[in-house]
Amino acid sequence: MACHDLDHKLNFSPDVRKIVLAGNPNVGKSVFFNAFTGMYVDVSNYPGTTLEISHARVGNDLIIDTPGVYGVSSFNEEERVARDVILGADIVINVIDAVHLERDLFLTQQIIDMGIPMVIALNMIDEAARQGIQIDVDKLAKLLGVPVIPTIAVKRKGFEQIKQAVATARPGNKLEILEDMLSLVPKKVKNQAEAIIILEGDPYVAARNRVKPLNHQEEIYLARRSRVDEIVKLVLKENYSEAFFNIRLSRLMIQPLTGIPFLVLILWMLYQFIGVFIAQTVVRITEGSIMQGYYEPFIINLVNTIISPTSIIGTLLVGEFGILTMPVTSVVGLLLPLVLGFYLCLSALEDSGYLPRIAVLVDRILMRIGLNGRGIIPIILGFGCVTAATITTRLLGSSRERLIATFLLALCIPCSAQLAIITSLLMGLGAKYTIMFVAIISSILVLAGTALNWLLPGKSDDLLIDLPPLRWPQPINVLRKTSNKAVNFIKEAFPLFAGGALLISFLQITGLLVTIQKLLEPITVGWLQLPKEVANAFIMGFIRRDLGATGLFNLSLSPAQTLVSLLTITIFVPCIASTLVIFKERSWREGIIIWTSILIIAFLIGGIVSHILI
């Protein structure tokens, strides 16, 4: 059974009433969720996905948020998660955007067809009124057969009525054709909602019920579409009266002539905020003053009272890579502010509706490297964290696109932490070297993408993307998203940092580090023409990319040598976390091919540049 499945996956108690918020992307679901639940919210990762599901217990009810989807099936990860959560719901609160009734009611009708009791929050009714749209709410409720409450989420209007209406939630009027079709589903599928999903050909739900998926999707979808169009025709009165500023702005964002300067401006602002303000000013305070100024001396003194810091255990605890010093300082002092800053920007971009417009703008260019416009999203995310970005490649349509994006991410996208260190090293070298660095890395990106596009069989999927209306992001939502993501990130990063620190300390104490340096000498000294200590940076770079670049700080390198080592470190194999994710997302075989080819490319490019410059 699906509901048991959901309880099991997210550890819910089976006897609470599950109230699920569902709706299309960008309709204001999270505002409702925040209003209904207040402070105490749990965020669980949905097993086997990158998606986080927020849920909160309110009295005897459990309120669960879902990712925004246009329909319940399994085209992508969001839909699969939303499908499972909706299948396990006792009551659905369906949030719909009054401005986009035609689009939103498709999902509504689908959930009604599944027979789940429902209440509708007809949101953004004020915006609809401003755009000259009048909706006959009573008629809409009557046609759908479920209560419909007009709301304005951003002004918190209608929330009380929704809470009261939950008691009157009921299954709505199903599509007539489904009556006869349901008999086609084998009797052993007891749950009616699942039967509908199986009729629509969902392979996962069918497999769970041990039946074959049926092939009536198109028939049902067309019937549902015409039913929705008919309802919209009956309840909607339009009165065009306003010129839309948004439409014009939206056009400016996607037309190359104006869109590219706009994108450059946005990226420059992001860089100023993350790369300059956070990575330099804030980190100087958090890492330099707080962690290295107060925390480290404090913890070293504390350990000193028990054991000598120069002993083996002392080195393991508080040495250069001590488990109480290095991981804590890097994670809290360096990574936390960067990750917070990055996710803050990203959440704001996500909520504003700009990301799909970037996808449209760059679609033409990305088609050449075997991705469609959507591929820009993991690439932008990669500048935050390559590991997280590698997981989001799942949103790409085909396995071919996922492979190309994964490879490019691992090959030449530096993550935020690494980027900060690269920036500060390059700033010391001047504009000439900075331009060379950017030019070499971007040509590698284009060349590798083009080569993969040419080598891999098949063709990438075409873009088909909804352009949501442009909106100012809601600060509360942005902050909540940011803190959820940052907490999860730190939880994952800390053990890895600690493990990495232990490994390096171990190599140092046993003297293996020197042996490795000697072994790598032909490559580091002979081929790359760098000092042999650079090997440390490579080993550390494998644990975390930023660690590797940090290792370069203490070496005295000439400008050309710095450029060569930065290039090599940037291209060099992804950190352990990314490597593990690559192996998990792709297969072992593909993982090994990606890993070794990147290793070869890194040293090849580094060596070539070295022989030209030095």
Partner 1 sequence: MTLDMAKEGQRYRIISLPETTSVRAQAIRFGIAEGAIVTCTTVIPGGPIVIAKNRQELAIGRGLAQKITIEAITTVPVNNNFMVRRRAYGLSRPRP
Please give the residue ranges that form the binding site for partner 1 (CB under 8 A). 70-71, 73, 75, 99-100, 102-103, 106-107, 131, 201, 217-218, 221-222, 225-226, 228-229, 240-244, 247, 250-251, 254-256, 356, 359-361, 363-364, 367, 372-373, 459, 462-467, 469
> CA-CA-CA-CA torsion for 457, 374, 357, 355, nearest 10 degrees?
-160
The alpha carbon of 55 is separated from its chain's Cα centroid by a whole number of angstroms, namely 19
Of 331, 330, 320, the residue nearest 513 (C-alpha): 320
State the minimum distance, in angstroms, from the CB of residue 372 to partner 1: 6
Q: Where are the beta strands (DSSP E) in 218-320?
A: 236-238
Three-state SS string over 506-530 comes to HHHHHCHHHHHHHHHHHHHHHHCCC
Which of 204/273 has CB closer to partner 1? 204
Please, what is the minimum distance in Å from the beta carbon of residue 189 to partner 1?
21
Q: Are strands 61-65 and 52-58 parallel, antiparallel or unpaired?
A: antiparallel
User: ∠ CA(446), CA(452), CA(458), 5° rounding?
Assistant: 130
Q: Find tokens 């339009």 and name the residue.
A: 238
Residue 70 C-beta: closest distance to partner 1, Å: 5
Distance of CA 552 to the CA centre of its chain: 30
Q: Which is nearer to partner 1, 47 or 132 (CB)?
A: 132
CA–CA–CA angle 125, 128, 131 (5° rounding): 155
Q: State which residue, 394 or 532, has the beta carbon closest to partner 1.
A: 394
Selection from 495, 456, 441 nearest residue 594 by Cα: 456
Minimum separation from the CB atom of position 125 to partner 1 (A): 14
Helical (H) or strand (E) element with 93: strand 91-97
Exposed e or buried b for every residue in 294-322, given b needs 16+ CB within 10 A? Answer: ebbeebbeebeeeeebeeeebbbbbbebb
Strands (E), 243-336: none
- Give whichever of 160 and 466 is closer to partner 1, judged by the CB atom: 466
Report the nearest approach of partner 1 to the CB of residue 226 (Å): 8
- β-pairing, 91-97 with 61-65? unpaired
Min dist. Cβ of residue 231 to partner 1 (A): 13
Q: Hey, how many other C-beta atoms are within 10 angstroms of the C-beta on 59?
A: 7
C-beta of 128 vs 340, nearer to partner 1: 128
Please state whether beta strands 17-23 and 91-97 pair in parallel, antiparallel, or not at all (unpaired).
parallel
Asked if 191 contacts 2 with a C-beta cutoff of 8 angstroms, the reply is yes
Q: Which helix (H) or strand (E) holds 269?
A: helix 256-270
Nearest to 22 by CA among 102, 98, 105: 105
What's the min distance (Å) between Cβ of 196 and partner 1?
15
| Residue 249 or 604 having the CB closest to partner 1 | 249
Give the shortest CB-252-to-partner 1 separation in angstroms: 10
249 vs 519, which CB is nearer to partner 1?
A: 249
Give the nearer residue to partner 1 in terms of CB position, either 99 or 199: 99
In whole angstroms, the minimum distance from the beta carbon of 358 to partner 1 comes to 11
The least CB distance from residue 106 to partner 1, in Å, is: 5
- Angle of helix 512-521 relative to helix 534-543, nearest 10 degrees, comes to 110
Give the nearer residue to partner 1 in terms of CB position, either 112 or 463. Answer: 463
Largest separation between any pair of C-alpha atoms in the chain: 81
Q: Which residues make Cβ contacts (< 8 Å) with residue 553, sequence separation at least 6?
A: 421, 425
Kindly state the smallest distance separating residue 108's Cβ from partner 1, in Å: 12
Question: Tokens in use for 265?
Answer: 């401006």
Pick the closer one to partner 1 by CB: 75 or 553: 75
Residue with tokens 């994108």: 263
Query: Measured from the CB atom, is 258 or 597 closer to partner 1?
Result: 258
Please, which residues bridge with residue 120 across strands?
94, 148
Closer residue to partner 1, CB minimum distance, 312 or 467: 467
User: Which residue, 222 or 438, is less far from partner 1 as judged by CB?
Assistant: 222
**Cβ–Cβ under 8 Å, residues 422 and 541:** no
Compute φ and ψ for 386, nearest 5 degrees.
-65, -35
CB of 154 to partner 1, least distance (A): 18
∠259-274-46 over CA atoms, to 5°? 90
Minimum gap (Å) between residue 506 Cβ and partner 1: 50
Give the alpha-carbon dihedral of 262, 264, 270, 273, to 10 degrees. -100
User: Measured from the CB of residue 530, what is the shortest distance to partner 1 in angstroms?
Assistant: 43
* Cβ 378 vs Cβ 390: under 8 Å: yes
Confirm if 231 and 139 have CB atoms less than 8 A apart: no
Q: How far is the CB of 352 from partner 1 (least distance, A)?
A: 15
| d(C-alpha 52, C-alpha 497), whole Å | 23
Judged by CB, which is closer to partner 1: 372, or 416?
A: 372
Distance CA 97, CA 229 (A): 15
